[in-house]
A and B are shown apart, each in its own frame.
Chain A
């Protein structure tokens, strides 16, 4: 264990522990967008989690998500220097993603009403004027779901995230991990009839799977296929059922051979 100090709080940490994760656990508020704990390797992309570090005679600004705990580290999360930089970042984000509610709220909290920078995105774009290009959706799709449906396209100011050739991507599982992980709620999807439509990803359509018993659409077809192949051998009768029907059938099967309660 090492001793560190965040603002006025003395804390113990494991050596090498992620400072942002630790601070959040301790209830210390550090704004952040691109950090997600499912990824072991932090990304340091959004820069909002910057803090001021005092170590020996040095003072410097760095992202807390990439900062590791070591003995004697002193961290300031709201020093004038940090606030100054964070305000500029928020102004840039207001231009990059003018429609993102949580960015607007955060900016307001820091006393920013308007961005001096020209707007970079619009409500009508495929990510609803909310994308900050942090890449969490790309990472969850590729690294976690192993689907690799989307990626960055182009570079510099014209960088976008979308499917290759801006066409529907048949590799999409329709798992909506991208929708759920997006820190600014930029990715949109909807369910129409028996299909999931990933509106943000070139209108990619994914077929839903129907429960053999009750007919409810309980997951997407490719996701069902994928999970089926990951699971151990399962009773084939259960395989094509939605969770509710599965539970009922399972109860029926399990109780069938139970001895009836004896009458008194």
Chain B
């Protein structure tokens, strides 16, 4: 993204959230929604524009697992590691995903298609264990059901 275009887009987001208190999270959330992640350039811009030290923004962004500092793959697979899902075998799901996609948690496949992440409770414990792919939540996911699930997102078994 070139700088004028970035400035225009970020100004638009800032204007939308004009209440001074607590708006920073909403601003960061919307930037991530539009750009897919929070780039260093965007954070620096927001820091200058809203007069918040970059160190404070970086602290906030690294506190919430929701925020990404790196561009993820086309599809983000988030495995719930909340208590219920954990007990129901979430670690095994991560293990199997890592094996199938050949990457570790937090990494993106070399073709830029999949990113594996983990998170705490999605609030869907009744369907544990759950996996979120992009915005969609899948319940009762087990290692054996992963291939068919991944195929929905264009994955091919080698």
Q: Give residues in A with beta carbon < 8 Å to B.
A: 142, 147-155, 163-165, 169, 171
Please determine whether B53 and A155 come into contact, CB atoms closer than 8 angstroms: no
Task: Find chain B residues with CB under 8 A from A171 CB.
Answer: 53-55
Q: Give residues in B with beta carbon < 8 Å to A.
A: 40, 43, 52-59, 62-63
In whole angstroms, what is the CA distance A169 to B52 when docked?
14
Please determine whether A153 and B53 come into contact, CB atoms closer than 8 angstroms: no
Please determine whether A163 and B55 come into contact, CB atoms closer than 8 angstroms: yes
Task: Find chain A residues with CB under 8 A from B63 CB.
Answer: 152, 154-155
How many Å from the CB of B151 to the closest CB on chain A? 35
21 contacts between A and B (CB under 8 A): A142-B55, A142-B56, A147-B53, A148-B52, A148-B53, A149-B55, A151-B55, A151-B56, A151-B58, A152-B59, A153-B62, A154-B62, A154-B63, A155-B63, A164-B54, A164-B57, A164-B58, A164-B59, A165-B58, A169-B55, A171-B55
Task: Find chain A residues with CB under 8 A from B56 CB.
Answer: 142, 148, 151
Main secondary structure on B side of the interface with A: helix
Task: Find chain A residues with CB under 8 A from B55 CB.
Answer: 142, 148-151, 163-164, 169, 171
In whole angstroms, what is the CA distance A153 to B69 when docked?
13
Task: Find chain A residues with CB under 8 A from B52 CB.
Answer: 148
How many Å from the CB of A31 to the closest CB on chain B? 28
Please determine whether A151 and B53 come into contact, CB atoms closer than 8 angstroms: yes
Task: Find chain B residues with CB under 8 A from A164 CB.
Answer: 43, 54-55, 57-59
In whole angstroms, what is the CA distance A142 to B55 when docked?
10
Could you say which of B40, B53, B62 contacts A149, with CB atoms under 8 Å apart?
A: B53
How many Å from the CB of B120 to the closest CB on chain A? 11
How many Å from the CB of A9 to the closest CB on chain B? 42
Most buried by B among A147, A149, A152, A169: A152
In whole angstroms, what is the CA distance A126 to B59 when docked?
17
Please determine whether A155 and B62 come into contact, CB atoms closer than 8 angstroms: yes
Task: Find chain A residues with CB under 8 A from B59 CB.
Answer: 151-153, 164
In whole angstroms, what is the CA distance A159 to B62 when docked?
9
How many Å from the CB of A171 to the closest CB on chain B? 7
Query: Please, which residue of chain A has its CB at the minimum distance from the CB of B47?
Result: A164
In whole angstroms, what is the CA distance A153 to B43 when docked?
15
Query: Please, which residue of chain A has its CB at the minimum distance from the CB of B63?
Result: A155
Query: Please, which residue of chain A has its CB at the minimum distance from the CB of B69?
Result: A165
Please determine whether B53 and A142 come into contact, CB atoms closer than 8 angstroms: yes
How many Å from the CB of A140 to the closest CB on chain B? 13
Most buried by B among A142, A148, A154, A169: A148
Task: Find chain A residues with CB under 8 A from B54 CB.
Answer: 148, 164, 169, 171
How many Å from the CB of B61 to the closest CB on chain A? 9
In whole angstroms, what is the CA distance A151 to B43 when docked?
15
Task: Find chain B residues with CB under 8 A from A148 CB.
Answer: 52-56
How many Å from the CB of B132 to the closest CB on chain A? 21
How many Å from the CB of B72 to the closest CB on chain A? 18
Task: Find chain B residues with CB under 8 A from A155 CB.
Answer: 62-63
In whole angstroms, what is the CA distance A105 to B54 when docked?
37
In whole angstroms, what is the CA distance A155 to B52 when docked?
20
Most buried by B among A154, A164, A165: A164
Task: Find chain A residues with CB under 8 A from B62 CB.
Answer: 153-155
Query: Please, which residue of chain A has its CB at the minimum distance from the CB of B40?
Result: A165
